[in-house]
Amino acid sequence: MPKVQATCYRCDSPATSKEHFPPRCFFPKGPNLNLQLKTVPACEVHNNAKSGDDQFLLAHICLNASKGPGLPREIFIRSIRPQLDRSQGFRSSLADGAKHFKDGKAEFQVDIARFDSFFNHLCWAIFFDRYGVTFNDSTHLINHIYFSLHTTDPHEIALRRMLSGMLKVFRDDYEEHIESYEAAKATESVYANQIIDPARQNGSITIIHTFYGVFEVVSMLSLREHALDA
């Protein structure tokens, strides 16, 4: 029987490579790392088009998570600092709008559209890996809540508080409905997630991402109303 050509995790194009999720750049180099990380089949467009967003988000996560010596600082020095030295555009994308304080702390502006793009791709990969089908925008709507980013928006603060309470109840009372995963672990945890999907892909899905043990994002894949009647 002839071998069936794999299709991309995001579109119907033939797959030409494998996409690591999360990207390899988030992990320290080590033997057999590629064998330990999850992958999905990808076409050239969906494997290469987002590399800039990967680096942009990694830089901000490392800046947010680094509180002294540790893996986030190590990754920043190895992967991000050389790019800052090479590319003025990349340096500007991080430095523009930054505020520096006398105690040595700094506050950086983030491009939420680029954050959303990264987490959309990550959720699409998780969806394909878990259910064996591509994510369908017509049945689910994706929103991401960035718990580790500072905000003064009252609506965002209220939303985070409400969602935090809901997740606590679910973790306390419905633990059997939560599936946990941790990627290849180095000296510290790099990436882990928890997935809540009682109805699998036929209902709403919540994915809790945690990077380096401290940077938390919640992705809500909400089933659209018209899909309920399908």
The model's pLDDT over 175-229, given as tens digits with 9 standing for 90+, comes to 888 999 998 776 788 999 999 999 999 999 999 999 999 999 999 999 998 665 5
Query: Does residue 151 sit in helix, strand or coil?
Result: coil
Q: What is the pLDDT of residues 95-147, one digit of tens each?
A: 887 787 777 677 888 899 999 999 999 999 999 999 999 999 999 999 999 99
83 strand-pairing partners: none
Beta-carbon contacts of residue 128 (< 8 Å; ≥ 6 apart): 9, 10, 40, 134, 135
Query: What are the extents of the domains in the chain?
Result: 133-228
Distance CA(78)–CA(24), nearest Å, equals: 13
Q: Please tell me the pTM assigned to this model.
A: 0.90
Residues making up the chain, counted from first to last: 230
